[in-house]
Amino acid sequence: MKSKIPRISDPSTPWLEILVKFGFKNEPFILGEWSTSGWTAVKDWVLPNGQPNKEYLKKSYGDSKVPILCGGNQYKTTTLKEFLEEMGDPEVYLKDWHFQNEFGTSSYSLHPFFSRDFVNCEPWTSEKSENPFGDDYRFVYIGASGSWTKLHSDVVSSHSWSANICGRKQWFMMPPGSENLFRSSVTESGFVDDIREYERLFEQAKVIKFVQEPGEIVFVPSNWYHQAHNLEDTISINHNWMNSTNLHLVQEFLSRRELDVREELQDCVDLFSAEEFEEKVDLVLFADARLNNSKFRKLCELVKESRSHEVGELFECEAHGSKIWQCISSPSCHPHILSICSCSTTFCSKCSAFIEQLEFSVASRFL
């Protein structure tokens, strides 16, 4: 396990190399400042001194209703203008603002690795009747120096990425399983709020501690517990997302939570028919986890259907045939994948054909 988080400073790094080295292995990395240097958000939302451009933000989005976390526990709603005018209290943090739903995504663009996103970057994303999640998982965060998020992992075993538009963040991150060293019986989450109080456990837990600089993007893989602290007034754009590399982890998460739900409902099983009980399990699972088995299957069906056409040259795997989802966990297949092309910030017909085949294969696995 790496003691430091890898930084990708070369813009010409092939995106398939990033996919194989980090996506397939479910390990974190940072894309350098180059990855956001052309974003409109970086140009318009930030003053020359690196501080948030509050006047521009108020003029452009000031009337928007935004969720504010106060004192670490309670949310309230205010306008962006009101928040920015009072911004300074580290106990008040603008989190989970669905900026993109209201204003679109023209303020930033996605690196190819992040664009393979079943949650936010598909035709069904904007159709609530079709979207298995009922909404997108794209957010803007704004916090004063000293604001922070408690130890947590991301919803439904999703990946996440977080781009610092301005400001610097101190991160603490640990590989799956290490969070058990920080369990607590007195918090709602079941884990300690702040692992800084338990630095003696960092080495055993393989905690990675690093600072994210302005313009950098952090990739947080599925099931990696983390907490982040704003060292300066900070704005970030964030996505929670799923793709071919973590769909199996999402399915495993749902299976575990389903068992918990069935146990919780066991006392009332006799009140329902078998069919009604299964519907109740699915309903409670969705309320608890924001996803359930029927919606997960629907997502897989949508992915499979949209990738069912053949595009370009097909990828052939001697070991796995058409079941190329098995290539993800097979290191012997990785050199073949890396040889497909050297595209860095765009897609060619070869890498497009491969990734669509992979996504079709992964989605088909669960149907």
Q: 166 lies in a domain?
A: yes
Judge if 321 and 237 occupy the same domain.
Answer: no
Q: What is the pLDDT of residues 169-179, one digit of tens each?
A: 999 999 999 99
pLDDT digits (tens, 9 = 90+) for 282-334: 999 999 898 999 999 999 999 999 998 765 567 888 899 889 999 999 999 99
Contact status, residue 366 vs residue 250, Cβ threshold 8 Å: no
pLDDT of residue 312: 58
Q: Are residues 318 and 229 in the same domain?
A: no
Shared domain for 258 and 234, answered yes or no, is: no
- The reply to whether 359 and 266 lie within a common domain is yes
Q: Give pLDDT tens digits for 5-36.
A: 999 999 999 999 999 999 999 999 999 999 99
| Residue at 17 is within a domain | yes
Q: What is the CATH number of the domain that holds 97?
A: 2.60.120.650
**Which structural domain, as residue segments, surrounds residue 309?**
248-365
The domain boundary residue, chosen from 205, 221, 245: 245
Mean pLDDT over the full length of the chain: 94
User: Is residue 43 in a domain?
Assistant: yes
> Are 241 and 257 found together in one domain?
no
- For position 179, what pLDDT does the model report? 97
**194 shares its domain with 58:** yes
Q: H helices within the chain, ranges in order? A: 15-18, 40-44, 54-61, 80-86, 99-103, 112-115, 202-205, 247-264, 274-289, 293-306, 334-338, 349-365
The residue out of 245, 277, 294 marking a domain boundary is 245
Q: Does residue 137 form part of some domain? A: yes
Q: Per-residue pLDDT for 71 more than 60?
A: yes
Clarify whether residues 184 and 328 are in a common domain. no
Give the per-residue pLDDT at 314: 76
What angle (nearest 5°) sits at the alpha carbon of residue 327, between those of residues 321 and 332? 100
Does residue 254 lie in a domain region? Answer: yes
Query: What's the rounded mean pLDDT across residues 143-153?
Result: 96
Q: What pLDDT, on a 0 to 100 scale, did the predictor assign at position 1?
A: 45
pLDDT at res. 257: 94
Q: Are 330 and 320 in contact (CB under 8 A)?
A: yes
Question: What's the pLDDT score for residue 134?
Answer: 81
Note whether residue 27 is domain-resident.
yes
Q: Does residue 191 share a domain with residue 274?
A: no
Same domain assignment for residues 234 and 259: no
Select from 245, 265, 288 the last residue of a domain: 245
What are 6's two structure tokens?
């890898």
Write out the two tokens for 241: 């997302």
Q: Is residue 2 included in any domain, yes or no?
A: no
Spell 282-317 as b/e; 16+ CB within 10 A means b.
bebbbeebbbbbebbeebbebbbebbeeeeeeebeb
pLDDT at position 2: 53
* Among the ranges given (83-92, 154-163, 265-274), the one the predictor scored with the smallest mean pLDDT: 265-274
Residues 236 and 291 in one domain: no
Residue 1 inside a domain? The answer is no
Q: State whether 112 and 188 are in the same domain.
A: yes
- Please report, rounded to a whole number, the percentage of residues in the chain having pLDDT higher than 70: 97
Same domain, residue pair 277 and 155: no
Mind listing the pLDDT tens digit for each residue in 91-105? 999 999 999 999 999
In the structure encoding, which two tokens stand for residue 342, read together? 């050297």
181 pLDDT tier (thresholds 50, 70, 90)? very high
Number of domains composing the chain = 2
The backbone torsions φ and ψ at residue 275, rounded to the nearest 5 degrees and listed phi first, read -65, -45
